[in-house]
Amino acid sequence: MIHITKSGFLCLEWNSALRRNVQCLGALVIDHLRDAVILVEDGVTLGDILTFVANDEFLPFFIGSYSGCNVLEIYQEIKNGVEPLAPEDNTKYCTVAMNVEVRPDHKCETHKRIETDLDFYGCGSDGQNYGLDLAPLADIAALPFRLESNASLWHHAKDSDEKEEGLEFTPTLLEVLDTIFFDLSFNGSSTEKAERLGGLQQQVQSIKDGTATLAPLDFGEED
């Protein structure tokens, strides 16, 4: 079992004599990546997690290979300091959450298929979720990190979608770290992310100004 604390990743194991969980003294975190994360201590931030991974002896190389990213390059973005959260900031914390979707199998109407996905995103005070993959890390590293223990279960039918609550899940430490680092590196380096974000902002502004060249949707005439 894993506790994510302000001091790092705490590895625990059940002690039958004491009948409680005790710390695994001298444990290497890399040996416990498939242990379940059962607690995230209050006050733990996204920046804390990035720092714990970057400062570990083995994790930068393992997570870098597993998640297809450069852990130390990501850490460099926050090494020299992060921006404190402002009261007016809409995004209040970040999380890793599970989504489960049950869909009809188009090849066989009597069968259904299940899709599962772990997502990393920011949660706003307005109840909305926000992608963080293009945000400068120094701007979001101070966000508190939480785990959503309840998964979203969607039942998709031909003519309707139904959401069911109450499905609990407990991710492993590897799942948590992979989800975070994969998302943060999805759009490349900090320079590449800034360029892409700038391009998107220019497109939005040109649409607002009416200067964008828009292609009409023409599906042709129906027979």
Q: What whole-number distance in Å separates Cα of residue 14 and Cα of residue 124?
A: 37
Residues with Cβ within 8 Å of residue 61, at least 6 apart in sequence: 71
Torsion angle, alpha carbons of 168, 43, 46, 49, to 10: -90
Is the per-residue pLDDT at 13 higher than 60?
A: yes
d(CA 117, CA 97): 8
pLDDT bin (cut points 50, 70, 90) of residue 72 is: very high
Cα(14)–Cα(35) distance, rounded to whole angstroms? 12
Are 78 and 50 within 8 A, CB to CB?
yes
pLDDT at 17 over 70: yes
Our measurement of the distance from residue 169's CA atom to the centroid of its chain's CA atoms, rounded to an integer in Å, reads: 15
**196 by DSSP, 3-state: which?**
helix
Name the average pLDDT for the chain.
84
Q: Supply the pLDDT for residue 199.
A: 59
**Rounded distance between C-alpha atoms, residue 223 and residue 220, angstroms:** 9
Strongest mean pLDDT among 115-119, 141-145, 162-166? 141-145
The secondary structure of residue 96, as a DSSP letter, is E
- Whether 35 shows a pLDDT value over 90: the answer reads yes
For the chain, give every domain's residue range.
2-205
